[in-house]
């Protein structure tokens, strides 16, 4: 069982009510807003908040919100479209591994500082743990390291031998479109400042994206 911080302890000692904190975090992650945009919207409702307050809220509460929502997560399909996209963090490129199923539901995601076989395998292991069922098919682009990662996972018994591996630019249009929905939220952040904080922010954006796609049985 996961350990959850009690609701009273989660917001204990905060200057603002929990509804305000949740609303600010949700707006920032769901819409194309900067911290200053969120502050301005809250100020219009008569609540002065410094923009530097929003960042700690996002970093503190995204992991807790994600854990709680994950209890109600519905499994994605078993036909995975997998691809990596680029994310710039403090002037350096990082790689966001992502997968969706045939209907566009998010399978999983993982931010990595490198794009190689080890990173691909780490993503697939994470996705397998989250989905709790292996895919029947995996469709990749032409990047050799991802193909090699799948082959090695099969050899190590972490993916079934029956899982079909293919490559199709047409089929992967679905994941590329889904990348855009996530990455469009990152522009207003004015740059991600560190790997850990970037991973948390992306985790929150992905959570909002899954909620919008109706991937939870409430």
Assigned token pair, 81: 């479209």
Cβ atoms 19, 42 nearer than 8 A: no
CA 117 vs. chain centroid, Å, equals: 20
CA end-to-end distance (rounded Å), the chain: 19
Q: Does domain 79-193 have CATH number 3.30.420.10?
A: yes
Domain ranges of the chain: 7-70, 79-193
The pTM (predicted TM-score) of the whole model is 0.91
d(CA 167, CA 208): 29
Encode the chain (218 residues) as per-residue pLDDT tens digits: 456 676 667 888 777 889 999 999 999 999 999 999 999 999 998 989 988 899 899 999 999 999 999 999 999 999 999 999 999 888 889 999 999 999 999 999 999 999 999 999 999 999 999 998 999 999 998 889 999 999 999 999 999 999 999 987 776 788 988 998 888 888 766 557 799 999 999 999 999 999 999 999 98
């Amino acid at each position: 069982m996961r350990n959850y911080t009690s609701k009273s302890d989660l917001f204990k000692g905060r200057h603002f009510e929990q509804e305000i904190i949740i609303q600010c975090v949700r707006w920032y992650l769901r819409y194309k807003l900067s911290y200053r945009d969120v502050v301005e919207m809250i100020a219009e409702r008569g609540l002065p908040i410094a923009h530097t307050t929003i960042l700690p809220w996002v970093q503190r509460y995204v992991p807790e919100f994600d854990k709680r929502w994950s209890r109600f997560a519905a499994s994605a399909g078993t036909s995975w479209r997998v691809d990596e996209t680029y994310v710039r963090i403090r002037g350096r490129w990082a790689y966001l591994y992502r997968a969706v199923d045939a209907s566009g539901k998010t399978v999983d995601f993982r931010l990595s500082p490198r794009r190689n076989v080890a990173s691909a395998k780490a993503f697939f292991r994470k996705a397998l743990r989250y989905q709790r069922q292996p895919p029947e098919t995996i469709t990749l682009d032409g990047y050799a390291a991802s193909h090699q990662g799948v082959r090695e996972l099969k050899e190590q018994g972490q993916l079934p031998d029956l899982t079909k591996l293919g490559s199709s630019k047409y089929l992967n249009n679905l994941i590329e479109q889904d990348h855009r929905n996530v990455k469009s939220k990152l522009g207003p952040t004015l740059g991600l400042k560190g790997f850990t904080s970037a991973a948390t922010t992306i985790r929150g954006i992905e959570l909002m994206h899954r909620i919008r796609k109706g991937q939870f049985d409430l």
